[in-house]
């Protein structure tokens, strides 16, 4: 019985933090680590990769839990989110705070294991992750802040490997920021009526759903352009360019699924297609990093 209860609690926690969505940012962080290692003429060690993954998962877990704590009252009122664990009381606010503190501590330990600069910047990363949870209350562009929360990951991984930062990683950070921000604009179209009634801010609420879809398309087009710039700046081989083409095709398919008068395929666009985008990027750009000249 105790084992069953424990398994149920773990499933509930993983659902609260949407653990499976770690696939969105982690591949970009791993590409950052591989590019950093190859630029330095050596491969990352297994322990470096392990601690990068631990840092990424713990940071995201802390951020997601803080977001659920901050939004619990809104979640209870929104029919789409009313069944979430904190909203129903299945998990307590006290437990959520304890989990946030524990996940934050794990991030700091992981950063400490990597290098001094990573450790010094870990509180800054946590502050940015936590601030996002409150941005919907005062700006329509919280989507960009969310994008930056994930967009930091390639730069963080480069720092984890090299103990310094190359300016070219800022290109990849901007690309990931626009990618995540763009699909969050799409996702927010589902909550436009609730946002209006609750006094929350979003691009769909401010400009309307049709205009929001156009904003997301522009953000994703700029993402592709930034990836082209990054591949050129690193002189990456054809594998990276092929990866950009596949990512662009998947983004086009994602936008074809969502229309202003039909959001029924939003889950497929948000979860499935974006999961493929991140994995395709890791596959092609990881391979490109393997064959690039140090």
pLDDT of residue 292: 72
Q: What is the pLDDT of residues 61-82, one digit of tens each?
A: 999 999 999 999 999 999 888 8
Q: Is residue 12 scored above 60 in pLDDT?
A: yes
pLDDT of residue 185: 96
Q: Is residue 221 scored above 90 in pLDDT?
A: yes
pLDDT of residue 137: 95
- What angle do helix axes 169-188 and 142-162 make, rounded to 10 degrees? 150
pLDDT band at residue 277 under the 50/70/90 scheme:
very high
Class of 20-291 in CATH: mainly alpha
Average pLDDT over residues 40-55: 88
List, in sequence order, the alpha helices (H) in the chain. Answer: 2-16, 26-39, 46-70, 72-77, 85-88, 93-114, 116-135, 142-162, 169-188, 192-198, 203-207, 209-233, 238-257, 266-267, 274-291
Specify the 3-state DSSP secondary structure of 172: helix
Half-sphere exposure of residue 91: CA atoms within 13 angstroms, side-chain side? 25
73 Cβ partners below 8 Å, 6+ apart? none
Average pLDDT over residues 18-28: 71
Backbone CA torsion sign across 225, 246, 218, 27: negative
Q: Is residue 272 scored above 70 in pLDDT?
A: yes
Q: What is the pLDDT of residues 158-201, one digit of tens each?
A: 999 999 999 999 999 999 999 999 999 999 999 999 999 999 99
Backbone CA torsion sign across 126, 94, 139, 180: positive
CA 36, CA 14: separation in Å to the nearest integer? 31
In this structure, how many other beta carbons lie within 10 angstroms of the beta carbon of residue 167?
8
């Amino acid at each position: 019985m105790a084992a069953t209860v424990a398994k149920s609690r773990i499933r509930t926690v993983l659902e609260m933090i949407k653990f499976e969505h770690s696939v969105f940012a982690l591949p970009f962080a791993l590409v950052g680590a591989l590019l950093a290692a190859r630029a330095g003429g050596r491969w990352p060690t297994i322990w470096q990769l392990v601690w990068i993954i631990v840092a990424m998962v713990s940071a995201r877990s802390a951020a997601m839990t803080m977001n659920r704590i901050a939004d619990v009252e809104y979640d209870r009122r929104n029919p789409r989110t009313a069944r979430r664990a904190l909203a129903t009381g299945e998990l307590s606010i006290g437990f959520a705070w304890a989990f946030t503190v524990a996940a934050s501590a794990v991030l700091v330990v992981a950063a400490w294991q990597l290098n001094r600069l990573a450790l010094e910047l870990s509180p800054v990363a946590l502050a940015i992750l936590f601030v996002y949870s409150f941005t919907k209350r005062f700006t329509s562009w919280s989507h960009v802040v969310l994008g930056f929360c994930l967009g930091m990951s390639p730069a963080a991984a480069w720092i984890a490997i090299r103990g310094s930062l190359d300016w070219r990683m800022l290109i990849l950070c901007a690309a990931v920021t626009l990618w995540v921000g763009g699909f969050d604009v799409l996702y927010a179209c589902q909550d436009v009526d609730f946002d209006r009634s609750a006094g929350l801010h979003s691009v769909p609420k401010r400009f309307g759903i049709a205009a929001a879809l156009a904003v997301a398309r522009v953000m994703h087009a700029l993402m592709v352009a930034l990836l082209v710039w990054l591949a050129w700046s690193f002189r990456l081989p054809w594998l990276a360019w092929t990866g950009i083409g596949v990512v662009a095709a998947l983004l086009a398919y994602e936008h074809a699924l969502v229309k202003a008068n039909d959001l029924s395929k939003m889950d497929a666009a948000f979860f499935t297609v974006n999961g493929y985008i991140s994995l395709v990027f890791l596959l092609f750009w990881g391979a490109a990093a393997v064959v690039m000249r140090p």
